[in-house]
Amino acid sequence: MTNITRHFLVLVGCVVSTVIAPCAISAAEPWSRFHGPRGQGYVDGSVLPAAWSESDYVWTHDLGSRDVGSPVVHGGNVFYLLSFSNAKQIGVQSIELATGKLRWTRKFDQPSHHLHKRNTFASSTPFVDDDFVFVAWSEPQHTYLKCFDHQGEEVWSRDFGSWQSQHGFGTSPVVYGDSVLLFNSQQADQLKPGQSAGASRMISVDRKTGTTQWETGLATTRSCYGVPARFEYEGKTQIVDANTGNGMFGLDPKTGRMLWNIDVFEMRCCSTPLVVGDLAIASSGSGGGGNHLVAVRIPKQQGEQPEQVYRLDRGAPYVPTPALRGDRLFIVDDKGIASCVEGKTGDVIWSKRVGGNFSASPVVIGDRLLLISLDGKATVLNAGDDYRQLGSFSLGAPVGATPALVDGYLVLRVGERLVCLRTK
């Protein structure tokens, strides 16, 4: 069975009535994008241990830099971005999943520039499909979107011009059909003297050639970073995303036309939207608090208006993206409050403080929830309606990237290393 056939059968199995609903995602499915299959941060078919130590790793791979871009896995290989700060370069690298052996590295010049203290120069997560690897990064004068084959040969490259943000880059590409989407959201607020406002837009290019299919201008307020989600209904598709100026919004994937939007956010949007039934769910916040998570009912027909269904102001994340298992959202906010929420209603089933500060997004592996704080403390919880802490231990170094799991291999970026744990 080909990968394409397998993905089609999984998609068909997820359809309930005419709206795509959450379903079990096999641990054998490629972790090909930020936050795993369909951006849900959930796989089934593996058992995560409640704790582990250095001796349990199958391999470790020295990177030489600590970055927050997450690894992805496809076809038995791992792909990621990494920075070479001393050489003022950024790199795309691939290693073997089973052994950690280096396959190839491609390096490109990247001048030093201002970043938020929690950001790094290699902050984006690749998207990889059966043919290509897509990566993105920026510097003040350039915003790059590049395509490589699986052997590291460059297929095409685009430069979308200057990037304006007080925090630096952080968005990641995603592929839907024959299109690569890049959420190019830039800064207009809180500029320093001499700085000019950026130009925000959603960009769609052909995945094989990099040719622009469309660009849709978006409100430029504060740079936002969520990876676009997809909503399907009665054979029609929408691209869903969130930012400060437009709120939650939907675009026509063929033309980029704005189909709807609703102003529901007060601050920056960093986390990636999730689609639960016909609800689009995203969050907004700041390093100083005031976070809120909002669910919006997606309009299905022309003339129908979006509707805010619920809003959570306590325990809402700013940077981490919730994980979705069935209709349950598993959330950790930036200051260490973990919650289980009924995704369709917003009812909080449980909410407990686990402690620490968080940037990495939670993932659910089988029936266990993995949370990793910025200082590298891992917490394993029961991913169900009863709160149970199963383990809590240190990984030994800072963690800002979200882990990936494929075929029972859990790949984590810990400090300046990639490490691999074999799950059951």
In tens digits, the chain (424 residues) has pLDDT values of 444 444 434 333 443 333 434 456 766 789 999 999 999 999 998 999 999 999 999 999 999 999 999 999 999 999 999 999 888 999 999 999 999 999 999 999 988 877 767 778 889 999 999 999 999 999 889 999 999 999 999 999 999 998 888 778 889 999 999 999 999 999 888 888 878 888 999 999 999 999 999 999 999 998 899 999 999 999 999 999 999 999 999 999 999 999 999 999 999 999 999 999 999 999 999 988 899 999 999 999 988 999 999 999 999 999 999 999 999 999 999 999 999 999 999 999 999 999 999 999 999 999 999 999 999 999 999 999 999 999 999 999 999 999 999 999 999 999 999 999 999 8
Q: What would the 3-class secondary structure string for 229-276 be?
A: EEEEECCEEEEEEEECCCEEEEECCCCCCEEEEECCCCCECCCCCEEE
Distance (Å, whole) CA 272 – CA 172: 10
Distance (Å, whole) CA 60 – CA 64: 12
> 52 with 391: CB under 8 angstroms?
no
- Give the pLDDT of residue 290: 92
Distance (Å, whole) CA 355 – CA 374: 11
**Nearest residue to 334 via CA among 313, 309, 367, 356:** 356
DSSP-assigned beta bridge partners for residue 154 = 148
Task: Please give the radius of gyration of the chain, using alpha carbons only, rounded to the nearest integer.
Answer: 20
> 168 with 226: CB under 8 angstroms?
no
> 311 with 264: CB under 8 angstroms?
yes
Distance (Å, whole) CA 74 – CA 29: 8
3-state secondary structure of 24: coil
Distance (Å, whole) CA 268 – CA 281: 15
- Give the pLDDT of residue 287: 86
Distance (Å, whole) CA 310 – CA 324: 17
DSSP-assigned beta bridge partners for residue 276 = 279
Distance (Å, whole) CA 55 – CA 160: 45
> 406 with 28: CB under 8 angstroms?
yes
- Give the pLDDT of residue 23: 55
> 359 with 334: CB under 8 angstroms?
yes
CB atoms within 10 A of CB 7: 16
**Nearest residue to 273 via CA among 238, 303, 304:** 238
Strands across the sheet with 77-84, in order?
72-74, 77-84, 89-96, 102-109
- pTM for the complete prediction? 0.92
> 39 with 33: CB under 8 angstroms?
yes
- Alpha carbon dihedral 220, 222, 226, 227, in 10-degree steps, equals 40
Distance (Å, whole) CA 219 – CA 144: 21
- Give the pLDDT of residue 26: 66
Distance (Å, whole) CA 105 – CA 170: 21
